[in-house]
A = this chain, B = another copy of it.
């Protein structure tokens, strides 16, 4: 049986596993600009609010119930709950909750939600080991750099073929962050990345189910365990990322290796991180923003004959659910998003409740939305026209939705988002205390004082 074993193997790839291992193990603490340091704080804070906010979601309950079958040692906190579990399980559950509302951060160049896998892993490990806030921030910046740079190498091909890139690069970011936090040397860090390379977690087919948020959680756990294994001498290929049968070539036909090395240590991918104002898939945001603007122009639901959207094909591919059955599915419905924008002027987690999704007034408005594919429009943009019953046509073009790189949330807006998520779980006093601790994270001597605040 003769057969073609791999037509597109690239045998001349640079040693990116080693390059990243050296970078992660040797880059100086806080070796970046104030802007990068600020974004690290914002990334962590936004992630923490999302994780606490979903602490009692049914996905969290189910995951925690399964984990408790292992009778885990109380090493690390399940954020927003009284439970403590082993650090691997904490990484898993906090990774799940942080992504459950689809309200977390986005590295727009790759659609990676980088904090989920990385922060979930390093906070669990750091709490267990009593690490400092400074060490956590270093691990966060470096871990996210690794995940997003590998994402840059493979995006869009890797994503297009069906990988949920958050979990299929996140295990590398989590491994890198945990290796840094454990102060592994270059060699052991390469092994941690290598072990993690065998464990991508995530398929796009899972969108709309609990397994979507499982992906960053599973990647967090896999990366953490990879670093622990490496710290005990477990071995992997030192070319696990770049070899012809290594992760990148197995999982992507695009292999832009230069993305690993371009300005490494000078440009940090966390600089390009963004935070969602709306609790749903990022590609819906321009449409919601546009419908909020229609509302601001005085358009009301009862005036509307129909809403016409022109969007990139990816928007409908990812979020084309016309009749979502529940809140989870509604996060992947651009039609529902438009209805929320026009009806409420915002789209937080409450607006993705099953009750709102099944509200006849929302359904009526949702059914008036027509979407047309136009690939001359950017994925992050939208053209919306409201055709009114009186014959008027009111148009809105959104090039940079609120929350995007060009129109980012302010710290005050992030705080408002955090408080809305955390109040129902921990109350206002703790939400404020956590907020202060997070903005001052670089000076925190021991992460356990922070995680203690995250318990009811």
Q: Which residues of A contact B (CB under 8 A)?
A: 1-6, 58-59, 61-63, 65-66, 69-73, 75, 86-88, 156, 160-164, 167, 194-195, 197-206, 208-211, 214-215, 218, 225, 228-229, 231-237, 239-240, 243-247, 249-250, 312-314, 317, 375, 378-379
Contacts and interface: CB of A to CB of B under 8 A. Distances in A.
A229 B2 CA distance: 42
Question: Chain A interface mostly helix, strand, loop or mixed?
Answer: loop
Contact of A210 (B231, B234, B245): B234
25 contacts: A3-B156, A3-B160, A5-B160, A58-B233, A62-B229, A62-B232, A63-B229, A63-B232, A63-B234, A65-B233, A66-B228, A162-B244, A162-B249, A194-B206, A195-B214, A197-B203, A197-B205, A198-B203, A198-B215, A203-B247, A205-B243, A211-B234, A211-B236, A211-B240, A214-B229
A35 to B, nearest CB: 27
A238 to B, nearest CB: 9
A70 B69 contact: no
Contacts of A66: 225, 228-229, 231-232, 234
Contacts of A313: 2, 5
Contacts of A246: 162, 203, 205
Contacts of A205: 197, 237, 239-240, 243-247
The 4 A-B pairs with the shortest beta carbon distances in the complex, nearest first, are: A71-B73, A162-B245, A162-B250, A204-B245
Given A210-B236, A211-B236, A214-B234, 6 more contacts: A69-B228, A71-B75, A162-B250, A197-B203, A198-B215, A205-B239
A63 B229 CA distance: 6
A104 to B, nearest CB: 18
Contact of A236 (B160, B206, B225): B206
A235 B247 contact: no
Contacts of A167: 198
A246 B4 CA distance: 24
Contacts of A197: 203, 205
A208 B237 CA distance: 8
Contact of A4 (B160, B206, B245, B249): B160
